[in-house]
Amino acid sequence: MPTPHPQSPPSAWVERFAPLVRADGPVLDLACGGGRHLRLFHRHGHPVVGLDRDLGGVADLEGTAGVTLIQADLETGDPAGRIGPLPADARFAGIVVTNYLHRPLLPALLAALEPGGVLIYETFADGNARFGRPSSPDFLLRRGELLEAVRGRLQVVAFEQGEVSAPKPAVVQRICAVAGDDPLPL
């Protein structure tokens, strides 16, 4: 089984909440990059789907049982509200997104969670410009934006926003939330 990319350990936030994802449930790693989270969930026995416009960082996983790699530009838009080329009825026990933001995908991500499915999201937020890139508001979450995105649709397990020092200084926003048949209002 492949080992994690040596320069890119999994995010501590993702590792913390990974056990909430249903055992053996399918996991989507959106904008998977080098596959650090794809590899984490695969090691724990989950079938995984890695979706990114450049699959160079996960090329070593091509043909691995339980790993589906899909190359697609996630920002070209889809009038049907799908996530790239995934079928509209695709459902996941877990969806992981780190260091990536394309706001039009948020509703489709929430819809792609199966009941009990877990969204684990961590990316840059307003204020990050003082640490470098990304610095454009297009790629920075507004204060409480992830909370607003899941309000009335998912049950929040944990939420954080603010400055971090590791793995490098940044301003981030993070959420772990669970889909339910009757999510609690926030």
Report the CATH fold assignment for 12-179: Rossmann fold (3.40.50)
Domain ranges of the chain: 12-179
Q: pTM here? A: 0.90
The predicted-structure confidence for 22-42, as pLDDT tens digits, reads as follows 999 999 999 999 999 999 999
The predicted-structure confidence for 106-121, as pLDDT tens digits, reads as follows 999 999 999 999 999 9
The predicted-structure confidence for 121-135, as pLDDT tens digits, reads as follows 999 998 888 888 888
Close Cβ partners of 156 (under 8 Å, ≥ 6 residues apart): 147, 150, 175, 176, 177, 186
Task: Tokens for 164, please give them.
Answer: 């971090």
Per-residue pLDDT, 181: 61
The predicted-structure confidence for 66-79, as pLDDT tens digits, reads as follows 999 999 988 875 55
Per-residue pLDDT, 80: 55
In which band, very low, low, confident or very high, does the pLDDT at 20 lie, cut at 50, 70 and 90? very high
Per-residue pLDDT, 78: 57
